[in-house]
């Protein structure tokens, strides 16, 4: 029965992936080089009502590159809003979670509102420079049960992410994840994470790293880093023909597993 459910889940992923991507392409013209203009003020945040909401972390500075390659926006906004729009539709379709699919939130690391949401996503952490106030608040968030996903960055950005997280959690150590960890088996079975989703525009080998409570792999995973990869890029362009459908589906599996793990640990 479990295998049957997983097969149905995989099929549903494909169907919703295509539908969501096609709808986005029809609305905004489609094509990788034709993105909607970024206007985070217009998008706005959704009020808290108990449902799962995709939260994107905002940080100061870090303009150019990333989203800025095609629009001049901040690095933290790369793949916004299509990445989270598509992902939340997938999450709603595959799970019994009450998911907010008509909006998402953008929050600063020191925003008290962040504590209402168990999962937070940061894009392009190579441009992140954490302030003392943000570090203290983000530390409390992670230690109280929050889960952070760092995505869309490559080798040289990895150095900065490690540096900034030493400010947030001075004693924390990044541990490479191999595929045996519970996070890769919380919903889908992902036994070889480094082999499933190749970097979309580079030859660097992807890897996955985590921070555990007390640096103990037997305890709760508090943060995960998709090094040399960009899962949300696959989410953003799913169904548009930019990437093969199977790659988009594999990228969705990681996101679903991250959320399911965060909500159950």
Residue 208 has pLDDT above 80, yes or no: yes
The stretch 201-211 carries a mean pLDDT of 87
Mean of pLDDT over the chain: 83
In 3D, which of 121, 144, 2, 115 has the Cα closest to residue 57?
A: 121
Residue 198 CA, distance from chain mean position: 16
Share of residues in the chain with pLDDT > 90 (%):
67
The residue behind tokens 């926006």 is 73
The stretch 169-183 carries a mean pLDDT of 98
Within 10 angstroms of residue 209's Cβ, the number of other Cβ atoms is 18
Residue 139 has pLDDT above 70, yes or no: yes
3-state secondary structure of 247: helix
The stretch 222-230 carries a mean pLDDT of 96
Beta pairing, strands 175-177 & 147-151: unpaired
pLDDT class of 201 with cuts at 50, 70, 90: low
pTM reported for the whole predicted model: 0.83
3-state secondary structure of 103: coil
In 3D, which of 261, 258, 259, 239 has the Cα closest to residue 249?
A: 239
Share of residues in the chain with pLDDT > 70 (%):
77
Cβ atoms of 128 and 59 within 8 Å: the answer is yes
Q: Is the Cα dihedral 223, 227, 231, 232 positive or negative?
A: positive
The pLDDT of residue 204: 85
Beta pairing, strands 221-227 & 147-151: parallel
Q: How big is the CA angle at 101 (ends 185 and 60), to the nearest 5 degrees?
A: 85
pLDDT digits (tens, 9 = 90+) for 30-82: 333 334 334 433 368 999 999 999 999 999 866 554 443 445 689 999 999 99
Beta pairing, strands 119-123 & 147-151: parallel
Give the C-alpha separation, 205 to 175, whole Å: 17
Within 10 angstroms of residue 109's Cβ, the number of other Cβ atoms is 23
CA dist 234 → 139, 161, 196, 211, 249 (Å): 30, 22, 12, 24, 8
Q: Which of 30-39, 172-181, 227-236 has the lowest mean pLDDT?
A: 30-39
The pLDDT of residue 192: 93
CA dist 105 → 60, 182, 189 (Å): 16, 27, 29
Give the C-alpha separation, 134 to 137, whole Å: 5
Q: Which CATH number fits domain 2-264: 3.40.50.12140, 3.40.50.150, 3.40.605.10, 3.40.50.10070?
A: 3.40.50.12140
The pLDDT of residue 24: 34
Cβ atoms of 91 and 52 within 8 Å: the answer is yes
Strand partners, 226: 208
Higher pLDDT, residue 91 or 204? 91
In 3D, which of 186, 147, 153 has the Cα closest to residue 79?
A: 153
pLDDT class of 212 with cuts at 50, 70, 90: very high
Q: Which of 94-108, 116-130, 187-201, 247-261 has the lowest mean pLDDT?
A: 187-201
């Amino acid at each position: 029965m479990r295998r049957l459910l997983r097969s149905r889940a995989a099929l549903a992923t494909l169907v919703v992936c295509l539908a969501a991507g096609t709808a986005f392409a029809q609305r905004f013209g489609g094509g990788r080089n034709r993105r909607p203009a970024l206007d985070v003020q217009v998008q706005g945040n959704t009020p808290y009502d108990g449902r799962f909401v995709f939260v994107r972390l905002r940080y100061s500075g870090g303009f150019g590159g990333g989203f800025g390659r095609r629009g001049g926006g901040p690095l933290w906004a790369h793949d916004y809003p299509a990445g989270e729009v598509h992902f939340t539709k997938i999450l709603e379709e595959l799970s019994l979670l009450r998911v907010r699919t008509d909006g998402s939130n953008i929050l600063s690391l020191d925003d008290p509102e962040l504590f209402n949401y168990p999962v937070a996503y940061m894009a392009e952490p190579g441009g992140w420079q954490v302030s003392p106030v943000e570090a203290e608040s983000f530390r409390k968030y992670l230690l109280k049960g929050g889960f952070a996903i760092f995505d869309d960055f490559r080798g040289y950005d990895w150095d900065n992410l490690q540096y900034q997280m030493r400010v947030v959690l001075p004693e924390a150590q990044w541990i490479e994840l191999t595929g045996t960890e519970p996070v890769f088996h919380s919903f889908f079975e992902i036994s070889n994470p480094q082999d499933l989703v190749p970097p979309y525009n580079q030859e660097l080998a992807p890897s996955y790293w985590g921070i555990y409570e007390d640096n103990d792999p037997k305890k709760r995973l508090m943060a995960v880093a998709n090094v040399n990869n960009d899962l949300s890029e696959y989410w953003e362009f799913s169904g548009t023909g930019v990437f093969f459908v199977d790659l988009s589906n594999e990228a969705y599996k990681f996101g679903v597993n991250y959320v399911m793990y965060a909500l159950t640990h």
